[in-house]
Amino acid sequence: MSDAGPNDWNRKIIEEFRANAGKVGGPFEGAPMLLLHHTGARTGSERVNPLVYQPVGDSFAVFASKGGHPTHPDWFRNLLAHPEATVEVGTETRRVRARVLEGDEREQVWSKQKELMPGFAEYEAKTKGLRQIPVLLLERLD
């Protein structure tokens, strides 16, 4: 069993992402990935998380699945408090504003994500209905 925590896991993915123009291997090989730079809700410190995304026009849909954990990921709470953020996609950096999708708009994007990457359906099942996995749209500001 490894002592590596989520920060070490994320750090390795971030390093691989930047070394390979936005491409990573392992369980995320071939998946569209971005690096989300966001502001801590309590600390005000910049945080960076690698996330799988789905392109939606010029925007990026991201999914607060946390692997099906019963609580939302910290980055989701941070975006609620500070919706303006920055993303690295490939070799580009873009400013974005996060918006939580609701109703039919959410369902359309979420259903497509589960078709594209069935692991997301597994995350949904793991929640056992205790929470709905939030879907956020990161809309370009520039």
The terminus-to-terminus CA distance of the chain in angstroms comes to 44
Question: pLDDT of 84-121, one tens digit each?
Answer: 999 999 999 999 999 999 999 999 999 999 999 999 99
DSSP H helical segments within the chain, as ranges? 6-19, 74-81, 103-116, 119-126
Query: Is the pLDDT assigned to residue 142 strictly greater than 90?
Result: no
Q: Which CATH architecture has domain 6-140?
A: Roll (2.30)
Higher pLDDT, 28 or 7: 28
Q: How many CA atoms lie within 13 A of 127 on its CB side?
A: 19
Average pLDDT, the chain: 93
pTM of the model: 0.91
Grade residue 28 by pLDDT with cuts at 50, 70 and 90.
confident
